[in-house]
């Protein structure tokens, strides 16, 4: 196996095994710092040894064993070993209560630990993206549109607070689930989005292991809370989005937008399951939440056999409801894209331009604006907007698509 093949294998194993290793170590040692550091050291050893020794038959087991040794070494090096062990015992549950639905998945336990209500919502999301999804601090900072140093400090403080508060490593009891689930869903949504179109310039544009893991964990949460509409809505949203994954990037590695995708390549089984969940929520008679509305938007898109068959009136109506629940700039931006199909690009552009202050560092804002300017015949302004979008784009697939569209301008 060549050095390039080994490097690629290590990258894949990191994507697939990071969460398992961190969760296993957190379970054993009860300390997120120890778990993260030992896992990182184990992967560093793999980078050194595997090119010469070859990939082990069971990479996950090899990494877990190596990380356990690294963690034990660190504990032994601590000046106040007994104090450290006592602090770790505060976090570790020898006999945690059986979780609702007999869910015993280690990574789900880790997510609920990171999403404790003692932490601010943004901190819960950032910590879990780091500990469970294995995203780097720069990747998480880009997702939050903040500086890397700010994000690093936020994650460090979160781990310290978990240790100081003695937050246990377990799925909470049934009565505690409602206070914890919103943070868990936010995390799973961001993990899925990172897999569907990764933010790192040096990563694969699509990371199926992340989308599959997010869907798997969301299914487990649904088993825990089968009557929760937002859990069902998020699962439906993921399924309807995942159904289009294979059509998302061309053979040349270029992003393929919804209007250009081969709809025959969509996964009909996932579409059917997603539509079923959306219909189930519609018949419940309960007002939909954010994820249910986003799932409904995706249901409209995946119901159309051709982009020209899309019911844009219904899409805008759903976004109108969503804006009332979540008037964030990104939601307003997505609504404007739909408005452009109903009322024309000029009307949408007026709405988009008002978002500049809030979304100046968000590349989809500039890409949307570039397309609207192109459609109104303002080629020079469109080119400048495309240049800015390319500068901020998160991966090679988006850069390739935006570059082609820019170069097509007169």
| Distance, CA of 390 to CA of 393 (rounded, Å) | 5
Phi and psi at residue 255, to the nearest 5°: -60, 135
pTM of the model: 0.79
pLDDT of residue 90: 44
Q: CA 167: distance to chain centroid? A: 24
Q: CA 336: distance to chain centroid? A: 23
Say whether pLDDT at 98 is over 80.
Answer: no
CB 132 within 8 A of CB 107: yes
pLDDT mean across residues, the chain:
87
DSSP H helix total and E strand total for the chain: 20, 0
| Distance, CA of 29 to CA of 73 (rounded, Å) | 12
Q: Which residues contact 120 (CB under 8 A, 6 or more apart)?
A: none
Nearest to residue 219, comparing CAs of 246, 179, 180, 192?
192
Q: CA 87: distance to chain centroid? A: 31
| Distance, CA of 364 to CA of 70 (rounded, Å) | 42
pLDDT of residue 404: 96
pLDDT of residue 111: 86
Nearest to residue 293, comparing CAs of 268, 269, 314?
314
Q: Once rounded to an integer, what is the mean pLDDT over residues 276-293? A: 93
pLDDT of residue 82: 57
pLDDT of residue 294: 97
> What percent of the chain has pLDDT above 90?
51
pLDDT tens, position by position, 52-74: 888 898 998 999 999 999 999 88
* Residue 145, number of CB atoms within 10 A of its CB: 12
Q: Once rounded to an integer, what is the mean pLDDT over residues 277-294? A: 93
| Distance, CA of 86 to CA of 89 (rounded, Å) | 5
Q: Which domains are seen in the chain, by residue range?
A: 1-92 (no CATH), 101-170+179-198+208-226 (no CATH), 228-327 (no CATH), 331-410 (1.25.40.10)
CB 245 within 8 A of CB 274: no
Which range, of 4-13, 61-70, 150-159, averages the lowest pLDDT? 4-13
Q: Once rounded to an integer, what is the mean pLDDT over residues 122-139? A: 83
| Distance, CA of 236 to CA of 230 (rounded, Å) | 10
| Distance, CA of 184 to CA of 225 (rounded, Å) | 12
Higher local confidence (pLDDT), 270 or 162: 270
Say whether pLDDT at 380 is over 60.
Answer: yes
Alpha-carbon distance values, 46 to 52, 67, 198, 327 (Å): 10, 11, 24, 46
Q: Once rounded to an integer, what is the mean pLDDT over residues 179-206? A: 78
CA dihedral 74, 76, 79, 80 (to 10 degrees): 110
């Amino acid at each position: 196996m060549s050095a390039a093949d080994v490097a690629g294998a290590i990258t894949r194993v990191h994507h697939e095994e990071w969460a398992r290793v961190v969760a296993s170590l957190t379970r054993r040692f009860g300390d997120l710092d120890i778990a993260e550091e030992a896992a990182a050291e184990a992967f560093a050893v793999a980078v050194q040894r595997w090119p010469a020794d070859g990939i082990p038959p069971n990479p996950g087991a090899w990494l877990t064993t190596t990380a356990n040794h690294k963690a034990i070494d660190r504990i032994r090096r601590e000046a106040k070993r007994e104090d450290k062990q006592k602090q770790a015992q505060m976090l570790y549950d020898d006999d945690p209560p059986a979780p609702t639905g007999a869910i015993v998945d280690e990574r789900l336990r880790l997510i609920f630990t990171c999403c404790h209500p003692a932490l601010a919502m943004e901190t819960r999301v950032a910590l879990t993206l780091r500990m469970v999804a294995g995203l780097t601090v720069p990747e998480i900072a880009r997702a939050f549109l903040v500086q890397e140093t700010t994000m690093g400090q936020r994650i460090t403080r979160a781990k310290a607070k978990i240790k100081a508060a003695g937050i246990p490593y377990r799925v909470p009891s049934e009565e505690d689930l409602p206070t914890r689930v919103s943070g868990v869903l936010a995390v799973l949504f961001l993990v899925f989005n990172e897999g569907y179109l990764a933010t790192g310039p040096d990563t694969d544009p699509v990371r199926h292991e992340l989308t599959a893991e997010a869907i798997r964990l969301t299914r487990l949460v649904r088993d825990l809370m089968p009557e929760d509409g937002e859990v069902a809505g998020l699962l439906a949203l993921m399924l309807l989005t995942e159904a289009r994954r294979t059509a998302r990037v061309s053979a040349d590695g270029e992003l393929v937008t919804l209007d250009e995708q081969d709809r025959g390549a969509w996964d009909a089984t996932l579409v059917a399951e997603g539509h079923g969940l959306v219909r189930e929520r519609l018949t419940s008679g309960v007002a939909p939440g954010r994820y249910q509305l986003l799932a409904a938007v995706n249901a409209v898109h995946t119901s159309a056999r051709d982009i020209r068959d899309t019911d844009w009136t219904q899409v805008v109506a759903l976004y109108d409801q969503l804006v009332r629940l979540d008037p964030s700039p990104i939601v307003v931006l997505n609504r404007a894209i739909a408005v452009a199909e109903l009322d024309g690009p000029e009307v949408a552009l007026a709405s988009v331009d008002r978002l500049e202050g809030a979304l100046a560092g968000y590349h989809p804002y500039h890409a949307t604006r570039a397309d609207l300017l192109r459609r109104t015949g303002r080629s020079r302004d469109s080119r400048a907007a495309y240049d800015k979008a390319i500068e901020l784009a998160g991966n090679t697939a988006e850069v390739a698509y935006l570059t082609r569209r820019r170069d097509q301008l007169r």
